[in-house]
Amino acid sequence: METWIVLTLLVLVVIALVAVVAGGRRKRARQELADAREDALRWYERLGGQVMNLTGDAPAVRQALADAGERYTAAGAQLERATSVKQYELVRETALEGLAYARAARVALGIDPGPDLPPLAGGRTGQLTREREVDVQGHRFRAGPQPGDATPYYYPGGMVAGRGVPAGWYSEPWWKTALVAGAWGVGSLLVFDALFSPAWGDTGYDAGFNAGFDQGYDQGYDAGDAGDAGDAGQDYDPGADAGFGEAGDAGDGGFDAGGDFGDFGGDF
């Protein structure tokens, strides 16, 4: 009888402990959700203030404010649907993108852009530091670090379909198709390669983002994974899987290193 009493008490203690732990987790989850919502709402409301109060007639100002307003609308729609921490983080990211455009509008207006913003996710892609102009298939494209009538389109910098587009002002939003579709078209790729080619002295660009592979493969090769493939390559057999498989693994591992182009050193 005493044994059953002891067992019953142990079971009740375990149940109580489980309930306490589960309750604590639920409380933390609710708090994290509330904190994420407040953080997203803070940036969303700040963006709304900028969109409502800034005006300008210059093409660069109008376009930057139009992009900021677009992000404000998108963030508002996301905020209404958000029910998780991740979704509120996406609201925050959209609002920060809008604030980046609003900040660009302030620069174009010649007024203080205000304090720096938190970095955007995937936004470590450097920024333009010099004017550049290229001809692609008979069409002239311009880019530079400052706004102007010839470069009214601002991009805050970030990854677009696996490639890093640096922050700066552009004559056309040639990256938008890839941003929406998730893949680069031939024309956009030609513009990308022409604007950011090594001919402009962009140290690290070719290795980091010219398909994002060459440097990554070399690094992976040097790291050792490809060492086995190199040995096998001395007795290369076109039909053998071993030599190619090892190199393939090294290329994949290196591609990640090349793909993180944002840390390549910063400015163009």
Whether the CB-CB separation of 102 and 156 falls below 8 Å is answered with: no
**pLDDT of the residue at 111:** 95
**pLDDT of the residue at 154:** 96
In this structure, which amino acid lies at residue 243?
Answer: G
State pLDDT tens for residues 114-168. Answer: 999 998 876 778 889 999 999 999 999 999 999 999 999 999 998 898 889 999 9
**pLDDT of the residue at 1:** 66
State pLDDT tens for residues 193-234. Answer: 999 876 554 433 333 344 343 333 343 434 444 444 344 334
Q: Are strands 163-165 and 132-136 parallel, antiparallel or unpaired?
A: unpaired
**pLDDT of the residue at 7:** 79
Both tokens of 194, joined, read 């022409």
In this structure, which amino acid lies at residue 65?
Answer: L
- Residue 6: CB atoms within 10 Å: 10
C-alpha distance from residue 268 to each of 61, 145, 245, 264 (Å): 23, 10, 36, 10
